């Protein structure tokens, strides 16, 4: 069955996958109200019967919002925006799951998704970075994906330069024509399925139990959260409330 990406609920698909793998999610009040002024934002913690721990899950959906066009920055497109971030607990230092999907209706889909490794340890990277890299290669031929982020792109998205210092070897970034809707959904589904496999196998993974990995993960999380707190994601949405201030 063909999927119309212009109306598809990306947040719902990803949240259902996370509920399935964790088994028990508990909705909680906003942890960062200043970030949640646009659209509908929900926060979740692991429930009592959750299969694994994490620090927090944020799911934001903004429908029918005007966002700057990537190719013509003076132009505003009507979009649906979906931002999902699952922050791990440093006591179980799995990668951080992120998906930022802006559907520029009838035009293209702006996609950033990644499983961010919290350690540079070679054994950790082999376990949690190499599979992401291999998955990215599966979609190498998808029109609109960017294989190398240039200085011109950084001028449009300056925050991406900071984000790249944390990203995995398989980060997806691009502006994919809506004609490839089913492939876009497949890509997003594959990334959340890979993350889910990490969760399912986490109890048996010895490297997650190492204290040096946990300490590095805690430091990386602190630096990442500091970086994110300094970025105003509302800049691309000039007619929406600012997320800072």
The residue count of the chain comes to 245
pLDDT higher than 90, residue 5 = yes
> Could you read off the pLDDT of 71-115 as tens digits, one per residue?
898 999 999 999 999 999 989 999 999 999 999 999 999 999 999
64 domain-assigned: yes
Q: What is the CATH number of the domain that holds 176?
A: 3.40.1500.20
Cβ-based neighbour number of residue 211 at 10 Å: 7
pLDDT at position 225, please?
A: 85
- What is the domain count for the chain? 1
Average pLDDT score over the chain: 91
62 domain-assigned: yes
| CA-closest candidate to residue 110, choices 184, 3, 194, 201 | 184
242 domain-assigned: no
The domain of 47 spans 10-236
57-64: average pLDDT: 96
């Amino acid at each position: 069955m063909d999927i119309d990406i212009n109306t598809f609920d990306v947040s719902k698909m990803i949240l259902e996958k996370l509920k399935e793998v964790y088994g028990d999610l508990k909705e909680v009040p906003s942890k960062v109200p200043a970030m949640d002024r646009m659209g509908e934002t929900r926060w979740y913690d692991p429930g009592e019967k959750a299969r694994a721990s994490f620090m927090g899950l944020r799911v934001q959906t903004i429908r029918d919002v005007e966002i700057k066009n990537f190719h013509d920055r003076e132009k505003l497109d009507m979009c649906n925006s979906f931002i999902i971030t699952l922050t791990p607990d440093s006591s179980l230092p799995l990668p951080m799951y992120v998906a930022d999907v802006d559907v520029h209706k009838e035009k293209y889909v702006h996609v950033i998704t990644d499983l961010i490794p919290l350690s540079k340890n070679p054994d950790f990277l082999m376990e949690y970075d190499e599979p992401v890299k291999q998955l990215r290669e599966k979609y190498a031929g998808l029109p609109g994906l960017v294989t190398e982020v240039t200085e011109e792109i950084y001028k449009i998205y300056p925050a991406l330069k900071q984000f790249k210092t944390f990203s995995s070897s398989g980060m997806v970034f691009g502006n994919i024509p809506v004609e490839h809707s089913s492939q876009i959904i497949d890509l997003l589904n594959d990334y959340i399925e890979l993350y889910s496999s990490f969760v399912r196998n986490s109890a048996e993974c010895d490297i997650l139990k190492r204290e040096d990995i946990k300490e590095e993960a805690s430091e990386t999380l602190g630096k990442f959260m500091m970086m994110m707190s300094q970025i105003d994601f509302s800049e691309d949405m000039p007619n929406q409330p600012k997320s800072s201030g």
